[in-house]
Structure 1
Amino acid sequence: MLEIALRLVVIIGAFLLLPLIVGQLEHKAMAHMQSRLGPMYAGGFHGWAQLIADGVKFVQKEDVIPAAADRAVFKIAPAVALVPYLIVMIVIPVGPGLYGVDLDAGLFFVLAVMGVGVLGSIMAGWSSGNKYSVLGGMRSAAQLMSYELPLVLAASSVAMAAGTLSLTGIVEAWQWWWLPWQAIGAIVFFVAGLAELRRPPFDMPIAESEIIMGPMTEYTGIRFALFMLAEYVGIVVLSALTTVLFLGGWHGPWLPGPVWTLIKIFVLAFVVIWVRVSYPRMREDQLQKLAWVGLVPLALVQLALTGVVKVL
């Protein structure tokens, strides 16, 4: 029992640190890609204190709740957005034997809990008493319904190939020749995951130029910071799941297994940042068309291919 508790503390502590590192990486990568000098000066050497300065700024800001808001729902919405991603981290294996809990239906558990996180944005939009926030919440709900299907289909393909729903079992069953075979599913899963996180170019629910900040328009201070933290935790979770399901998790030559897992996670996190810098925001019709005309058929093709390979 003590061993399980210690393992949970270590894993949760590590995964709480990773989102902060990803946030710092985003500051620096975007600064280099867009020639933004500001994030390079805070604290001196390469702007090392930028993340600390942002944290202090959020803590100092006044926590304002609009008079027309549903106060109870408004207050808990940031926690609903953040906590599910933290729960998911408990079942993601980092290395052989290095995980919080190994569930037999771990993949179903992860996909179900990740869907709950989006409800935080819907609750925030509905409870704010602001038309822009309500519109952002409605867009979040539509985006969740559209991209949940290709996400689940792509993940089901890997489970079918491995013959198990356990995340640890999927990594143990993984083979190098899966990389080209499951490539379509990997792309579908990663793109659908970006859309569920509402990361650019899938950030229509936030769309600063249209609806200010969408569900987060009325949030200030530490509650707004929790939404930002939820986004970075979501990036880590998406990168970790893509690593576990499609890139072999801890499999790799020479280096220890957990090191390979972290390397793959950070490479994918960098890709998430790179996509944000490189592509403009999609229109709502383009976003929905990509899901139903593009990703869903590709996910079905991957499922059919997996079935054929398994039978043969």
Structure 2
Amino acid sequence: MMNIPLNITKTIHDWIFSIMPEMAANITEWVLIAIVYLALFAVAGLYLVLLERKVAAWFQLRLGPNRVGPWGLFQTMADALKLVSKELTSNDRIDKFLYNLAPYFVIVTSLMAMAVFPYSKQFQGFDINIGIFFLFAISSIGVIGILVAGWSSNNKFSLIGAMRSGLQTISYELSVGLSILTMVLLTGTLQLSEIVEIQRTGGWLILQGHIPAIIAFMIFMIAGTAETNRAPFDLVEAESELGAGFHTEYSGMKFAYFFLAEFINMFIIASIAVVLFFGAWLSPFGITEGITWFPEVIWFLIKVLIIIFLMMWFRWTFPRLRVDQLLTLEWKYLLPLNLVNLLIMAIVIWLNWTI
């Protein structure tokens, strides 16, 4: 079970093992952990939607949601209840099996990715020595849900949106991977907890790696925003061209799954950036010891929210790119720059110029 340093956790652990056989107790603990992550998933998704609306209102000099609950805090909960109560509709010629399966591809892969992040020294659901590789693999599966949704909907706009998503993901996955590989080269490990420990003694990796690390972060943010299909890279859901893109034919909770997954994927991209570049849960005021009275998980969430705000800033600042501009940016600029930056990082490490 998650090693959260609370007496209540140990008490629950001991109680479960005292009343059940070992296998049943382990399964029960896995179910409890899954419930914790599902709750985190739901709460994070709902309130990132609220944050998006507030940030958009701030940029456009509006108030945003302010009626349902204090400061509009319950607005997204009301929207979720509305989606739960809506009728599930579809056209007559869909591929029913794939149509119903697609939303779960997207939602399950996002949930699995959240499990490997070290939210604090003790709060990490799944710590494996190939954590970065695991994130690569899981993020590659997520796009299958979008492709399946577009194909099975029997709608030309859905299919075009799905094809765009596949094209965009294949292209920008290279830049995301190479920017992460640059930092893996610096740390020498794929395990997320070890990457954090390296920053405990040597400082944030964005400082240890000098200019190559800063370039890697900038490329990662651009490519990561494209990976989440957010503006200015939202050609997958271009409203003026495709209606709602790949989820045009979805309604109710099935539509909500796609909508929620977009914001959770934004949380995942921000979490990767925080772990690889900004010390994860480590305090910025004392990398070695931190502020003991301030919960580590709060530092992690503060950093993640700052990165998410930056991604939202992109959305409400830049216009949508054309398809040719999207591909030109990746293949002519980001990819060559990434390869050169990876070589420079290797030289920096070879000459021992890191902090």
CA distance in 1, matches of 2:158, 2:309: 29
SS of 1:40's equivalent in the other structure is coil
Alignment correspondent of 1:26: 52
Residues 1:300 and 2:339 aligned together: yes
Alignment correspondent of 1:53: 78
CA distance in 2, matches of 1:169, 1:7: 22
TM-score by length of 1: 0.94
Q: For residue 267 of structure 1, what is the amino acid of its counterpart?
A: I
Q: Relative to structure 2, which stretch is displaced further, 286-295 or 246-255?
A: 246-255
Alignment correspondent of 1:78: 103
Which of the residues 265, 274, 284 maps onto 1:234?
265
Q: Relative to structure 2, which stretch is displaced further, 280-289 or 22-31?
A: 22-31
**How many residues are aligned here?**
311
Distance apart, 1:117 and its partner CA: 1.0
CA-to-aligned-CA distance 1:172-217 (integer Å, 9 cap, x gap) = 1132323644111111112111111101110001100001111011
Identify unmatched segments of 5+ residues in structure 2.
Answer: 2-12, 15-28, 286-290
CA-to-aligned-CA distance 1:259-286 (integer Å, 9 cap, x gap) = 2111100111111211111111110011
Distance apart, 1:7 and its partner CA: 5.8
Which of the residues 97, 102, 118 maps onto 1:93?
118
Alignment correspondent of 1:135: 160
Q: For residue 264 of structure 2, what is the amino acid of its counterpart?
A: V
Identify unmatched segments of 5+ residues in structure 1.
Answer: none
CA distance in 2, matches of 1:237, 1:16: 14
Q: Relative to structure 2, which stretch is displaced further, 13-22 or 182-191?
A: 13-22
Q: For residue 203 of structure 1, what is the amino acid of its counterpart?
A: D
Q: Relative to structure 2, which stretch is displaced further, 247-256 or 190-199?
A: 247-256
SS of 2:127's equivalent in the other structure is coil
SS of 2:316's equivalent in the other structure is helix
Contact map agreement 2:53 2:64 (CA 8 A) in 1? no
Which of the residues 100, 117, 129 maps onto 2:142?
117
Alignment correspondent of 1:168: 193
Alignment correspondent of 1:265: 304
Contact map agreement 1:122 1:138 (CA 8 A) in 2? yes
Contact map agreement 1:42 1:50 (CA 8 A) in 2? yes
CA distance in 2, matches of 1:262, 1:128: 37
**Structure 1 segments of 4+ aligned residues over 6 angstroms from their partners:** none
Alignment correspondent of 1:35: 61
CA distance in 1, matches of 2:210, 2:34: 34
Distance apart, 1:251 and its partner CA: 1.9
CA distance in 2, matches of 1:269, 1:55: 21
CA-to-aligned-CA distance 1:134-186 (integer Å, 9 cap, x gap) = 10011011001100111111111111100101011111113232364411111
Q: Relative to structure 2, which stretch is displaced further, 34-43 or 75-84?
A: 34-43
CA distance in 2, matches of 1:157, 1:9: 35
Q: Bigger relative contact order, structure 1 or 2, given CA contacts below 8 A and separation 6+?
A: 1
Q: Relative to structure 2, which stretch is displaced further, 49-58 or 78-87?
A: 49-58
SS of 2:102's equivalent in the other structure is helix
Q: CA RMSD in A?
A: 1.8
CA-to-aligned-CA distance 1:233-272 (integer Å, 9 cap, x gap) = 1111111111001111122223443221111001111112
Contact map agreement 2:105 2:141 (CA 8 A) in 1? yes
Residues 1:194 and 2:225 aligned together: yes
Identity of aligned residues (%): 39
Which of the residues 169, 174, 178 maps onto 2:208?
178
Alignment correspondent of 2:326: 287
Against the structure 1 CA distance between its residues 283 and 34, is the aligned structure 2 distance closer, same or farther, given a 3 Å change threshold? same
Alignment correspondent of 2:6: none
